[in-house]
Amino acid sequence: MEQSAILIIDFEFTMPEGKYQPQNFFPEIIEAGVVKVEDGKIAETFSNYIKPKKFGKLTERCKKFLKIKQEDIDSGMKFEDFINKLKEFDSEKNSVIITWGSMDMKVLKHNCMINHIPFPFKGELRDLSLEYKNFFGDKTLTGLWKAAEEYGDKGTGKHHKALDDALTTFHLFQKVENDKKYLMNPKPTKIGDVIDLTGVLRKNAT
């Protein structure tokens, strides 16, 4: 049976200027990074800016936090074209969609609704940060790059750069999946009867 492709996705969003959101404000996707994985390997990547419709002028806070320029956004692709690109990545309509956290898909669904465009994905949606929390028995969700550090990895590229975050998520996904398989089918040894392997896996992961 042919395995479904995996799309690992990360978005960056518009932000209000201050701590409190102005009336009617909602986050819009302004940068996207996508990593398509087939047979466990990266088959294709995508990175681009998306021009927001409702809040086209970026706040100073947003530009500073994301290190993004207004001209980058002004020359970005239209939201409709971006959705068509996502559909191209998921041409079979059965890809597994993986994100770090639930916010990416929530914002995508809301942006689609605002623009009167159907949500582009039909396959399974997986929140890797929740899986990470449950796998290691953590009490709270862990940030993407903190999780990478816990695995002895510095992450890929720059934090809050959509494609770099998607690639970092991909590498974490590989490590967690490998650890899950190890715990389900450990090598013949009695060490598992002596220590709690889940407590040391991420410290010793390479």
Q: Where are the beta strands (DSSP E) in 50-169?
A: 96-99, 125-127
Is residue 64 in a domain? Answer: yes
Domain with residue 99: its CATH number is 3.30.420.10
Domain that holds residue 145: 6-204
Instruction: Report pLDDT digits (tens) over 167-197.
Output: 999 999 999 999 988 777 766 655 444 445 5
Instruction: Report pLDDT digits (tens) over 127-169.
Output: 999 999 999 999 999 999 999 999 988 888 899 999 999 999 9
Indicate the number of domains in the chain.
1
Is residue 12 in a domain? Answer: yes
Nearest to 131 by CA among 185, 192, 172, 182: 172
Is residue 86 in a domain? Answer: yes
Nearest to 11 by CA among 43, 49, 39, 42: 49
Is residue 57 in a domain? Answer: yes
Is residue 174 in a domain? Answer: yes
User: Of 110, 159, 160, 171, which residue is the catalytic one?
Assistant: 160
Is residue 108 in a domain? Answer: yes
Question: Is-catalytic flag, 60?
Answer: no
Is residue 173 in a domain? Answer: yes
Q: What is the pLDDT of residue 198?
A: 56
User: Of 12, 38, 88, 92, which residue is the catalytic one?
Assistant: 12
Question: Is-catalytic flag, 159?
Answer: no
Is residue 1 in a domain? Answer: no
